[in-house]
Chain A
Amino acid sequence: MATENTQNPSAAKLAFLDKIRQSSVWRSIFRQGYPDNDENRSLVMFNSFFLHIHPVKVKNHTIKLTYTWGLGVIAAFLFFILVVTGGILMFFYIPSVDKAYLDMQLLETSVTFGMLLRNLHRWGAHLMVLVVFLHMCRVFFTGGYKKPREFNWALGVILWVVTLLLSFTGYLLPYDQLAYWAITIASNIAGFVPLIGEQFKFFLLGANSIGQEALQRFYALHIFLLPFVITALIGVHFWRIRKDGGLSAPASEVGVPSADVVPSEAGAATAEAILPAQPEKTYGLMALMKRTSPMVGKAPDNTVFSWPHLMVMELLAVLGTTLFLLILSFIVNAPLRDMANPNVTEDPAKAPWFFSSLQEVLLHMNPTMAGFVVPLVVIVALMAIPYLDREQKNVGIWFDSPKGKSICLFSAVYTTIAEIGLVLFDALVQWQPFFGESELVRGWLVPIATIGVLMVILYLGLRRWSPNRREVALGFFTAFVITYIVLTIITQFFRGSGMQLMPVWQLPPGGLTF
């Protein structure tokens, strides 16, 4: 095939570049010519280590911007940026309580581009937390978790948690006041885990309070153990995308069962359109075995070549992310407060924004309930979604249907009102004395009952649409997302000194923790 290309008539006028491209060295690295014909477009995916993660062809639907918004690619790319910038930061940082804060100051003042480097790492991390969450929302609202993608959804939920853990462990490393107190609160939450709480906290910190041991442990977790775990999980996550048949797409885009052809507007009903006389895809025969595969009874999908269609979209996503992050890092500096002081807690002491909702929950109920039960239930419930909702209809369609849209809108409005109402109620109404002194009642039963009643009301509200399981899931997932957003906004923008409610313009200096 290589010789075929070189004997092209236009090869007569060989430019210098072409000479290089035909050298035996070049040929030993790139085994095919430039992918400007279908054969080379296939070979480039087979032969390149860096591209072989992609299929040769992708569904037309997959590269639609408004379907994925490129969020998965962007999240993975942000992780790559974080590995690179994190690696460079390691050259300038010693994880010691005496040196860490000083190193941060030196990085900002005495290292060329040090501030920019720090900003890229800090804002890249925040952006990754945000994008991973948005990616989860995208997959949920388009029904991308449905069979056969249940397990990959569960993996994705774990990836979200590991992303948060990475952010959390990195948060301590600057060893300023912001870091010290955020981690103090979080490690004390760990102390409220039932039965093993105190030991767990002691193990996490390596001491009874944050100090050299904790800093060193968080450093090891942050630069080695957690990145190792997340890299492995990302690998499996990607691999499963391919094995589960690529990205989800509406049934009209996926190869329709040839035995039971449903006519569609696209005119895909004609036998020729489904099984073209000259198929664009060719298959190599590896081995024969007796089993069914996902491809049984299906015609080829409505696809395009990954090169150039998918490549261009990915390049744009990567470029856009780089530009956005660079500009953000030029404009906004990462915060560095006073050096960690174990004797003075900043007022207010707020968690980073992605844990703000959790901090808000902590204000209203028993710490074991808020810091352990609630997050555990949320994670388990998220992972269980695809095993509870087994509807196969409307996969690949945003919000399922117009009915689904109404349900999401209803749930969003209801949850916003309910959350704001609850927070105001707890702040303005002295309800605690009414329930006496018992922590079991005030910290556990009342919050559980309140959440339960609110969820029942939500469900009764959804009954109006006589929803199926998918639509109930839509309603409750929307409630979860809106709760997360509303509580984050309340804690970040409307809580000031002593975590008391106050309008955003009255916040004390340092009231925002981005």
Chain B
Amino acid sequence: MATQNSNSSKEEKGITRRNFLRAGIWTTLAVLAVETVGATIASMWPKAQSSAAGAKVRVGKATGFPIGSVTFFPEGKFFLAHVDSGFLAMSHVCTHLGCIVPWVADEKSEDKLAEKGRFNCPCHGGIYDRYGLVKAGPPLRPLDLYPITLNGDQLVVDTGILIRRQVYEESQAVKV
């Protein structure tokens, strides 16, 4: 009876010295563990990036690119496609798993603008047409776009801004 009473009175007081110390030790350990892991991850988290800067690339006069043409600009790493509704500047990175998509000029076309020419991804067989739309394979969205502005009669592509899209809309193409 006596022990029972003392037990219940301890419970009423809420916390024993033993429990307090135990909780303290576990809390200290947990905080230390979280701090260690967190600080390690934080230190590994890149603050500054070396290759983010995207330049504006002046690609030339619109008249230089006939409808249906696709031109690669190695310095800006994009394709300039002239489709029926205007110009598209598309990143050359596959939206599936990041391989570089080359323009294959002599393969069967997947759009109505020309007989031949499409993008073939070498990694997982993705195929895109002149609009950057997925025609076959596993990619989930069309090729990403860079915004095009007109400077007089010159087309200028801003490679600092990457635009993700799910579908093709005419408004994406820049009319000249």
CA distance A184 to B138 in the complex (A): 16
Contacts A207-B51, A365-B138, A439-B140; A499 near B122 (Cβ below 8 A): yes
Q: 8 Å CB contacts to A: which residues of B46-102?
A: 46, 49-52, 74, 77, 92, 96-102
Which residue of the partner chain, among B46, B49, B140, contacts A366 with CB atoms under 8 Å? B140
Docked complex: B87-127 residues within 8 A CB-CB of A: 92, 96-102, 120-125, 127
CA distance A346 to B123 in the complex (A): 8
Q: Are A208 and B99 in contact (CB under 8 A)?
A: no
Whether the pair A499, B125 counts as a contact (CB closer than 8 A) is yes
Residue A411 lies at the interface, judged by CB distance under 8 Å to chain B:
no
Judging by beta carbons under 8 Å apart, are A345 and B100 in contact?
Answer: yes
Q: Which of B44, B50, B125 has the most CB of A within 10 A?
A: B125
Instruction: Determine if B2 is an interface residue (Cβ-Cβ < 8 Å).
Output: no
A48 at interface by CB-CB < 8 Å = no
CB within 8 Å of B: which of A187-216?
A: 187-189, 202-203, 206-209, 211-213
Of all chain A residues, which has the CB nearest B167?
A437
CB-CB < 8 A to B125: which residues of A? 363, 498-500
Complex formed: what's the CA distance from A367 to B116 in Å? Answer: 29
Q: How many contacts between A and B, using CB within 8 angstroms?
A: 89
Is B45 an interface position by the 8 A CB rule?
Answer: yes
Instruction: Tell me, yes or no, whether B37 is within 8 Å of chain A by CB.
Output: no
Q: Establish whether residues A362 and B50, one from each chain, have CB atoms under 8 Å apart when the complex forms.
A: no
Q: Does A443 contact B (CB under 8 A)?
A: yes
Complex CA–CA separation, A499 to B140 (angstroms): 17
B interface, by DSSP: helix, strand, loop or mixed? loop
Contact across chains for A367 and B96 when beta carbons are under 8 A apart: yes
Query: Which chain B residue lies CB-closest to A432?
Result: B136
Pick from A188, A212, A365, A498: contact of B97, CB below 8 A: A188
Per-residue contact bits, chain B 116-149, to A (CB 8 Å; 1 contact, 0 not): 0000111111010000000001101000000000
Q: Whose C-beta in chain B lies nearest to the C-beta of A351?
A: B123
A80 to B91, alpha carbons, bound, how many Å? 45
CB distance from A196 to the nearest CB of B (A): 12
| Count class of interface residues, chain B | 20 to 34
Q: How far is the CA of A290 from the CA of B80 in the complex (A)?
A: 81
Which of B46, B92, B99, B100 is within 8 Å of A202, CB to CB? B46
Contact of B122 among A359, A367, A498 (CB under 8 A): A498
CB neighbours of B1 from chain A (8 A): none
Please tell me if A181 contacts chain B, counting CB pairs below 8 Å: yes
Partner of A345, one of B46, B50, B99: B99
Task: Considering the complex, give the chain B residue whose CB is closest to the CB of A213.
Answer: B46
Q: Does B31 contact A (CB under 8 A)?
A: no
CB distance from A41 to the nearest CB of B (A): 47
- Which A residues from 203 to 241 make CB contacts under 8 A with B? 203, 206-209, 211-213, 217
CA separation between A344 and B49, bound complex, in Å? 22
| Complex-state Cα separation, A112 to B122, whole angstroms | 37
The CA of A184 and the CA of B137, in the complex, are separated in Å by: 18
Asked if B41 is an interface residue, CB under 8 A from chain A, the answer is yes
Partner among A181, A363, A443 whose Cβ is within 8 Å of the Cβ of B99: A181
Closest to B107 in A: A498
Known: A203-B41, A362-B138. A185 touches B100 (CB 8 A): no
| Assembled-state Cα–Cα distance A349/B99 (Å) | 8
Q: Tell which of B49, B120, B140 touches A443, judged by Cβ atoms closer than 8 Å.
A: B140
Chain A, 315-351, CB within 8 A of any chain B CB: 342-349
Give the B-binding residues of A (Cβ under 8 A).
181, 184-185, 187-189, 202-203, 206-209, 211-213, 217, 342-349, 359, 362-367, 439, 443, 497-500
> Can you spell out 19 A-B residue pairs with CB atoms less than 8 angstroms apart?
A181-B99, A185-B97, A185-B123, A187-B98, A188-B98, A206-B44, A207-B51, A208-B52, A209-B98, A211-B50, A343-B92, A344-B102, A347-B122, A348-B123, A363-B124, A363-B125, A365-B138, A366-B138, A443-B140
B residues bordering A, Cβ < 8 Å? 41, 44-46, 49-52, 74, 77, 92, 96-102, 120-125, 127, 137-138, 140
